[in-house]
Structure 1
Amino acid sequence: MLDWWGDILMEYYAGSEGCGTTLINSAEWRRKPGSVGRATTGVLHIVDDEGRELPAGETGRIYFENGGAFSYLNDPAKTREAMNERGWATYGDIGHVDEDGYLFLSDRRADLILSGGVNVYPQEIENALLAHPAVEEVAVVGVPHEDFGEQPLAVVVLKAGEQPSGELAHAIVAQAAPSLSKVKWPQRLVFQHDLPRLETGKLLRRVLKERFRDEPLAGYDVRVPASSF
């Protein structure tokens, strides 16, 4: 997009709650591809599940300190959930900051897959699956698993001219597997014509989660033997 429009674009990360903002310009983005910038409102903190602040490079929940007060209408419980004991506020997203204070988003906390006690972020799996030349779009959600609690299921939209098959399903996962730890390998893969989205283009991941919660064995079994690598 920068090559098309030139270095005139600005990207920001914020929310309607107004608890914090980051901003990055085009020149910065070329140096820090994938970042949403440094904090312009509030002070950034990355925190683990036990509430401990994490150093640069480690992934956790994103909080802002002194970014602005807010409350959800008629929902004090949700307001409390958005704050930690230090008074820092979060939009509920996951990410990390680098040594220069630039923020990189990983996922929404609500989209997190907990498999065998390990936090699995769908975006990482989706990026790996998108590297296959037959894949147009992909969404990964957690579905119930008797032993591990949840397991990743991939919903894939193929590029025009590609035909869904078990062989292709296995090939898509096999090419992604070497770049993912074993717990992140999708166990099931479903082909669809499209993904549910709002008119704005935002993925309705909850629609997929609700559907496949009741159909955890939908699609193809694409478990990859560890001996393949």
Structure 2
Amino acid sequence: MIINAADLDPTSSYKLLIGSVLPRAIAWVSTQSSQGTGNIAPVSFFTVVGRLPPVVSISLQPRADGVTLKDTFVNIRDTGEFVVNMATIDQADSLHRSAFEFDSDVDEFEALGLRKGACDIVSAPRILDAPISMECVVDRIIAMPPLPDHVVWGRVERFHIRDEVYLDNGRIDVGALGAVGRLAAEYSLVDNVFTTPLPQELVEQLRVQRSRRLDERATDYSPIDTAEWSASGSTRTETA
């Protein structure tokens, strides 16, 4: 299959991107509005773009209507700051529910039952129970026309790292985290590590093995095929 990107609409392009760039780290972004309302959103268009100073990048689409700017972006634009938190397996459901489009006057920390942690530099709260949080101030905002998409670069001013995952040699104990990543519109638990080369017989075994589902759904299930999914990264309506 050969697909000409120029022939794609935004939704079709988004589907191909999220199914091809795998696995994607998730920035669990917490912000605060100018009025002091807390907001939380998962952003999987997320990466590192600089080391010194440390700089991270998040890309934000509008809400599911394709026009209205997300509260996360509005808060970042208006306050010049945000926090990137790391989500782990015990927080996966809260992470997912934070993608629902709450009204702008709803404090999402309260709505999701998440505890606020004070930051040192920025006024936005961090997610207290996240094992890693990064306080960020805006370095630049890049508009991505013709769509109302934006790329935000954030300069990391403070790292908050839970003591038990910070090793004496200055690195993170990644195997102890239970990190969660994004696969298309679903999630994946990072529960194995390796260095190369692996035994060839193991490589052959893993090459033909489907990823196992942890939720007992059908092997071909995807939220992309449901009415709740949208090409905004947001979930349209919350279900019971």
Q: TM-score scaled by structure 1?
A: 0.28
Tell me: higher relative CO, structure 1 or 2? Use CA pairs within 8 A at least 6 residues apart.
2
Q: TM-score scaled by structure 2?
A: 0.27
